[in-house]
Amino acid sequence: MKLNKDFIYRKVGSDSVLVPVGSSSFSGMVKGNATTGELIECLKEDMTEEQMVDRLVEKYDAPRDVIANDVAKVLAKLREIGAIEE
């Protein structure tokens, strides 16, 4: 999966911001923390959900199941607004 080309990602201070710029039906802005930004960076590389979990497990000191659950929640929200291409 990868980030839809109709969305741009920027880091603003410690926040991650995702904004639609193309033909997306979503008209708003997604603001998240550094972990959300890390996931969006993964989407720029066309990674699987499992690969994203692996990357975050290496980076953060949290149980794998907690990270996997958080990744699934963020990806579900991004899918909901059309920010992910499968």
The pLDDT assigned to 8 comes to: 92
Q: What is the pTM of this model?
A: 0.87
| pLDDT tens digit sequence for 4-53 | 999 999 999 889 999 998 777 788 889 999 889 999 999 999 899 999 99
Phi-psi region of 17 (alpha: psi -120 to 50; beta: other; left: phi over 0): beta
Residue 55 has pLDDT above 90, yes or no: yes
**Inter-residue contact 42 to 36 (CB < 8 Å):** no
Distance of CA 9 to the CA centre of its chain: 9
Reported confidence tier of residue 68, pLDDT bands at 50, 70, 90: very high
> Rounded to whole angstroms, how far apart are CA atoms 82 and 6?
9
